[in-house]
Structure 1
Amino acid sequence: MAGRPRDERARNVILRRAADIASQDGLEGLSIGRLATELGVSKSGLFGYFGSKEELQLATIRTAMGVYVEEVIKPALAVPPGLERVRRLCESWLSYSQRRVFPGGCFFFAVTAEFDARPGRVRDAVAAAGLDWIRFVARTVEDARQLGELAGDTDADQLAFELISFMENANAVSLLHDDPNAYERARTAIRNHLAARAEAG
């Protein structure tokens, strides 16, 4: 029993490094051998934690989800429902990407592009995480609409799609073109978009 907390801490260190690697090189870029080399541990020891590359990939997704919740979701939930929560949610996401919480930008942006057309358990896990995110943004928008802070005819799913598009484009442009201004452009676009819907109400 005494070894379990230490084992869990070691596993968490391994998975956090795995998530960093996957954000840059994809989940297919993960291997038990590579992690063992980078962390200075034995391959057999790592194999004992995960058993297969697929299990390593799935565990890495779960770890990344935990980081995402802490960095993006919880800060938004600290704000009461309404337009300000929508703003905080968008800002939390942009900050998470801009600060390179994962060195490759948004972990899920990277692995979604990698697995969107591949069937299997890893794709299903990535898809489920993405759908949870989309639904959360839409629900946050819908709360603001119901509170009268956005126009009554606001389509929450459509507005969520547009807000996510602004955020993901900032992530992509900043990475591909090394352009930090992409985040300010996204903030301006989001601010203008939400203001227009609020004024329409």
Structure 2
Amino acid sequence: MSPRHSAAEAARTRERIVRAAMLDASRLGLEGLTVGTLARRLDMSKAGLVGPFGSRDRLLMAALEQAVEIFRAAVTAPLEDLPPGAERLERLIDGWVGYLADCPFPGGCFLTAASSELDGRPGPLRERLLEVVTSLRGALAAEVAAAQGELPGPHRPAEEVATTLFGLSMAANQEIQLLQDPAAPARARTAMRHAAGLDA
């Protein structure tokens, strides 16, 4: 096998491992994911599974990073050509609810589950998740502020609205995943639009 083909095969193997780890962690939690279980599922040795990453912790970090990219691709990336404002915020909410309703993860929103799992557990995974969520919340507050400039007032502080939207998304995730309520997405979309002042 040529070096080029060997590198391509190694990249495919790494991608396969990360995807499997991400999907399993969605159901079991990042800390609940074991190398042995994942290796058996992929028909690999433990050393072969961990080898491309150097350690289990780095494998889990790779799974977290991949989940973040999937969220961004589904929710924020489609908005890149839209200017900040009410239409963009409305589209963001629609994309967010659509992601929750047709979630690519078997355990529901990966970031929501990881936030609940890691909020009291110090370590690199928690620190990275904190960076991601802080960035997302800041970006959402900026989207809300831009939309408020086009909407009739008075307005609640943008940071407060962002907190409300995050809370509603977490509630929607629970109603979709745990309660399996088919009306949850439409209800969440209505509640989030109202909280953002888009139905004024």
2:73 maps to which of 45, 70, 79: 70
1:190 maps to which of 171, 180, 192: 192
What is the aligned partner in structure 2 of residue 175 from structure 1? Answer: 177
Alignment size in residue pairs: 197
Identical-pair percentage = 35
SS in 1 for 2:60: helix
Question: Runs of 4 or more off by more than 4 Å in structure 1?
Answer: none
Within 5 A, what are the aligned runs for 1:124-139?
124-139=127-142
Kept in 2: contact 1:138–1:160 (CA 8 A): yes
Kept in 2: contact 1:145–1:152 (CA 8 A): no
Mind listing any 5+ residue stretches in structure 2 that lack a counterpart?
none
State the AA in 2 paired with 1:163: L
Please give the TM-score of this superposition, normalised by the length of structure 2: 0.90
Kept in 1: contact 2:76–2:92 (CA 8 A): yes
1:25 maps to which of 28, 32, 48: 28
Q: What CA distance in whole angstroms lies between the structure 1 residues aligned with 2:158 and 2:8?
A: 43
Q: What CA distance in whole angstroms lies between the structure 2 residues aligned with 1:150 and 1:133?
A: 25
Please give the TM-score of this superposition, normalised by the length of structure 1: 0.90
Q: What CA distance in whole angstroms lies between the structure 2 residues aligned with 1:176 and 1:61?
A: 22
Kept in 2: contact 1:72–1:93 (CA 8 A): yes
Higher helix share: 1
Q: What CA distance in whole angstroms lies between the structure 2 residues aligned with 1:150 and 1:130?
A: 29
Kept in 2: contact 1:105–1:175 (CA 8 A): yes
